[in-house]
């Protein structure tokens, strides 16, 4: 834990020329600390604010650091970024000396538009070179974020070029990067607020043939950043106990309900069971291991093909990076030779990959050459997973040419649509507005900011969306204003009309069906008995019209509890109708209720209550020897709700189809 913690010093320029962007710097730096509190709570951080005389000593990240960074002082003089670098280095050296090499980092945020002071001896370049060499010797790295664009329009270009050259020396000596941003949005994504240590997913041979193998390491190049795993928090621990973790641990006990004893069953006496119809089939771990597919670990080349045959939209999941085994010269040369030959021939390789021993699934993908432009960085490969036939979903859409001539767009409509599409280009002048590398995930950014607010004020309401994040998820107001004529032309040439044949949503269906059921026929004409009257609110499923009552309750959306209440009461009504059939129709009314319940559970994507009811009905029919009800249900195709109808269902389509086949009632005695 202590071995992997990072030691970071923020070097923040708060001079007068940075005042226009300091609010974004505050958000960026406070977000950095907030994420460290979640993912790396043992990291240590210090702050140097130049342009003033503020200094925050290095310490373990905490809530006070967040408050400090959210209220940065506004400087009155132009700062010297080289002085700030020297101060930050001195803090790290005094605190850690020669320890933790590779874990010590400086992060400089400035516009670098003001000249630095001349040294007493030598040139500025010599001075920077000396500092950079000392930094490399101490195992330090420096990451520079330079804010330009509209924030530096009136600056001296000669001074900016000189400063850029000096910062590039630090980047080369410490093998880090200098990032230039020109908008508040790109500033938010410039600093990686969460650092993930790369870990290999595979170390072994890339097998081109049984006689030709190359030792490679495989890393994940990209990975989706997900929400942090939030744990349950308990307030039961005494407030005086500072060592309490407040974590909630959940444990399960298994007890027998068949025997007279109620003792706990130990793990070695338990076996996992799987439902098959009304029965539960036990399958032991040994039996599972015997039938599991166990491919051997390894990567094999299946063949080569032209790069044009592999479409970009077929790439799945994350991107992997293949490199030669570090320190292995022969492997490096082999990878480089194959990569350059593939590049020259515009070819890619198809691979079969099993990343680790015991992995149950095999991955097939495409290997693309990545030729390095830097002499110090060897060539490598990118690997993308390709879909199997079962993963491909091909949707056929009719051509516009198949529609009648009256439906075809005219030349003016086609031109208006083309202009709209061209206007939506994010890079009309060759410069992309939202660069993926510098555009943060707005959902995650908003989540972390709200999390920090709730930590301080548990009852705080959700704050309005930040203006910087609005620029990511909402249309650019300037772009919309500049292209107002395009929108006007689109409105002028396309008339919007309501489609009366449009399929109703589930809520509209329930509401309109309910309003239709309140009409009655008198004298051969339909008369609406509740015209100009508010609809009657149904609070309970009655005996006369249970289906209509159920649909009415499902359409009441003023409280989410209505849906749960309606499903529960209709289930109870169905079971009651089975025990006491209604009149000569026997189970007809119960079947109508089952049909209504099935449709409602599919619309609400709640398959559990319905499927449980069907299992109870089958068990009841088998115990009582009832044959007519299963036949009636089968004739209406009222089977289980499968996973294709509701995502939360654990019933396959085959199990749903065979449900009635297995309903073999006992013969009458």
Q: What is the pLDDT of residues 246-265, one digit of tens each?
A: 888 888 888 876 655 667 88
* Residue 253 token pair: 């006990």
pLDDT in tens, 574-604: 888 887 765 556 678 888 899 999 888 888 8
> What was the pLDDT predicted at 518?
44
> What was the pLDDT predicted at 415?
92
pLDDT in tens, 159-187: 999 999 999 999 888 888 899 988 888 88
> What whole-number distance in Å separates Cα of residue 128 and Cα of residue 115?
14
> What was the pLDDT predicted at 261?
60
Q: In what order do the strands lie in the sheet with 140-147?
A: 53-60, 44-50, 7-13, 104-110, 140-147, 178-181
* Alpha-helical runs (H) found in 40-183: 63-69, 81-96, 124-137, 157-174
For residue 450, which of 471, 464, 468, 469 has the smallest C-alpha distance?
Answer: 464
DSSP β-ladder status, 200-209 and 212-220:
antiparallel
Q: What is the full DSSP assignment across 538-597? A: P-S--SS-HHHHHHHHHH--SSTHHHHHHHHHHHHHHHHHHHS--STTTTHHHHHHHHHH
Q: How confident is the model at residue 605 (pLDDT cuts 50, 70, 90)?
A: confident
CATH 2.40.290.10 assigned to 200-225+293-390 = yes
> What whole-number distance in Å separates Cα of residue 641 and Cα of residue 614?
10
Cα R_g (the chain), whole angstroms: 34
Average pLDDT, the chain: 83
For range 533-541, the mean pLDDT: 66
The more confidently predicted of residues 485 and 228 is 485
CATH class of residue range 6-190? alpha beta
Q: How confident is the model at residue 299 (pLDDT cuts 50, 70, 90)?
A: very high
pLDDT in tens, 106-150: 999 999 899 998 888 888 899 999 999 999 888 888 999 999 877
pLDDT in tens, 363-389: 999 999 999 988 888 999 999 999 998
> What whole-number distance in Å separates Cα of residue 57 and Cα of residue 481?
48
> What was the pLDDT predicted at 260?
58
The more confidently predicted of residues 341 and 476 is 341
> What whole-number distance in Å separates Cα of residue 143 and Cα of residue 80?
16
Looking at the whole model, is its pTM more than 0.85? Answer: no
CATH 3.20.20.450 assigned to 411-423+433-493 = no
DSSP β-ladder status, 44-50 and 7-13:
parallel
Q: How confident is the model at residue 472 (pLDDT cuts 50, 70, 90)?
A: confident
Is residue 304 within a helix (H) or strand (E), and if so which, with residue range?
Answer: strand 298-306
Torsion of CA 602, 608, 614, 616, to 10 degrees: -160
Long-range CB contacts (within 8 A, 24+) of 513-521: 513/551, 513/555, 514/548, 514/551, 514/552, 514/555, 517/548, 517/551, 517/552
Q: How confident is the model at residue 223 (pLDDT cuts 50, 70, 90)?
A: confident
Q: Which CATH superfamily is domain 546-658 in?
A: Ku, C-terminal domain (1.25.40.240)
Q: Where are the domains of the chain?
A: 6-190, 200-225+293-390, 411-423+433-493, 546-658
For range 607-636, the mean pLDDT: 85
For range 46-62, the mean pLDDT: 84
Q: 208-217, 506-515, 621-630: lowest mean pLDDT where?
A: 506-515
What is the b/e burial string over 597-634, where b = at least 16 CB atoms within 10 angstroms of the residue's CB? bbbbbbbbebbebbbebbeebbeebbeeebeebbebbe
> What was the pLDDT predicted at 54?
67
525 pLDDT higher than 70 = no
HEC letters along 435-504: CHHHCCCHHHHHHHHHHHHHHHCCCCCCCCCCHHHHHHHCCCHHHHHHCHHHHHHHHHHCCCCCCCCCCC
Q: 57-71, 344-358, 586-600, 647-661: lowest mean pLDDT where?
A: 647-661
Highest mean pLDDT among 465-469, 537-541, 664-668: 465-469
> What was the pLDDT predicted at 265?
84
611 pLDDT higher than 50 = yes
For residue 138, which of 184, 100, 192 has the smallest C-alpha distance?
Answer: 100
Q: 314-328, 506-520, 593-607: lowest mean pLDDT where?
A: 506-520
């Amino acid at each position: 834990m202590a071995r992997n913690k990072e030691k970071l010093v923020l070097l923040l320029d708060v001079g007068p020329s940075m005042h226009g962007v300091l609010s974004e710097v505050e958000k960026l730096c406070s977000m950095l600390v907030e994420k460290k509190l979640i993912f790396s709570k043992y990291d240590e951080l210090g702050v140097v604010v130049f342009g003033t005389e503020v200094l925050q000593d290095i310490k373990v990240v905490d809530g006070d650091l967040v408050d400090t960074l959210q209220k940065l002082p506004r400087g009155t003089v132009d700062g010297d970024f080289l002085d700030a670098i020297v101060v930050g280095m001195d803090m790290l050296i005094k605190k850690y000396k020669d320890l933790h090499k590779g874990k010590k980092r400086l992060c400089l945020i400035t516009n670098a538009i003001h000249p630095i002071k001349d040294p007493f001896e030598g040139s500025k370049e010599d001075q920077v070179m000396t500092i950079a060499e000392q930094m490399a010797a101490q195992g330090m790295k420096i990451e520079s974020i330079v804010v330009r664009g509209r924030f530096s329009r009136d600056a001296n270009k000669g001074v900016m070029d000189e400063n850029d050259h000096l910062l590039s020396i630090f980047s080369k000596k410490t093998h880090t990067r200098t990032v230039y941003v020109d908008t508040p949005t790109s500033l938010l994504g410039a600093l990686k607020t969460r650092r993930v240590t790369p870990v290999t997913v595979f170390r072994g041979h890339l097998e081109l043939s049984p006689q030709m193998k190359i030792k490679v390491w495989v890393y994940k190049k990209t990975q989706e950043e997900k929400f942090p795993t939030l744990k349950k928090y308990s307030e039961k621990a005494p407030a005086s106990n500072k060592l309490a973790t407040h974590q909630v641990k959940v444990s399960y006990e298994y007890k027998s309900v068949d025997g007279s004893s109620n003792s706990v069953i130990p793990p070695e006496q338990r076996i996992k069971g799987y439902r098959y119809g009304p029965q539960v089939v036990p399958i032991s771990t040994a039996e599972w291991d015997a039938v599991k597919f166990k491919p051997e670990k390894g990567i094999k080349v299946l063949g080569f093909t032209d790069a044009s045959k592999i479409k970009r939209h077929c790439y799945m999941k994350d991107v992997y990076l293949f490199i030669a085994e570090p320190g292995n010269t022969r492997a490096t040369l082999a990878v480089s030779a194959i990569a350059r030959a593939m590049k020259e021939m515009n070819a890619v390789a198809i691979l079969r990959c099993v990343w680790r021993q015991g992995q149950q699934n095999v991955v097939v993908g495409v290997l693309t050459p990545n030729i390095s432009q830097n002499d110090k960085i060897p060539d490598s490969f990118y690997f993308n997973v390709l879909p199997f036939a079962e993963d491909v979903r091909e949707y056929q859409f009719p051509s516009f040419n198949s529609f009648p001539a009256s439906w075809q767009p005219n030349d003016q409509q086609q031109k208006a649509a083309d202009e709209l599409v061209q206007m939506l280009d994010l890079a009309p002048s060759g410069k992309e507005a939202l660069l993926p590398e510098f555009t943060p995930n707005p959902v995650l950014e908003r989540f972390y900011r709200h999390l920090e607010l709730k930590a301080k004020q548990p009852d705080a309401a959700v704050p309005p969306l930040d203006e910087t994040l609005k620029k990511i998820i909402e249309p650019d107001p300037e772009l919309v204003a500049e292209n107002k004529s395009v929108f006007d032309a689109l409105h002028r040439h396309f008339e919007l009309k309501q489609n009366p044949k449009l399929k109703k949503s589930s809520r509209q269906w329930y509401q309109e069906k309910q309003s239709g059921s309140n009409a009655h026929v008198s004298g051969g004409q339909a008369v609406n008995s509740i015209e100009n009257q508010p609809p009657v609110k149904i609070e309970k499923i009655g005996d006369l019209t249970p289906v209509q009552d159920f649909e009415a309750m499902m359409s009441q959306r003023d409280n989410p509890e209505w849906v749960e209440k309606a499903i529960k009461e209709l289930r109870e009504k169905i079971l009651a109708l089975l025990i006491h059939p209604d009149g000569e129709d026997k189970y007809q009314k119960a079947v109508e209720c089952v049909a209504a319940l099935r449709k409602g559970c599919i619309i609400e994507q709640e398959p559990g209550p319905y499927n449980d009811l069907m299992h109870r009905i089958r068990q009841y029919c088998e115990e009582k020897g009832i044959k007519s009800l299963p036949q009636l249900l089968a004739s209406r195709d009222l089977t289980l709700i499968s996973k294709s109808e509701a995502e939360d269902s654990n019933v396959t389509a085959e199990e749903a189809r065979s449900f009635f086949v297995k309903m073999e009632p006992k013969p009458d005695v």
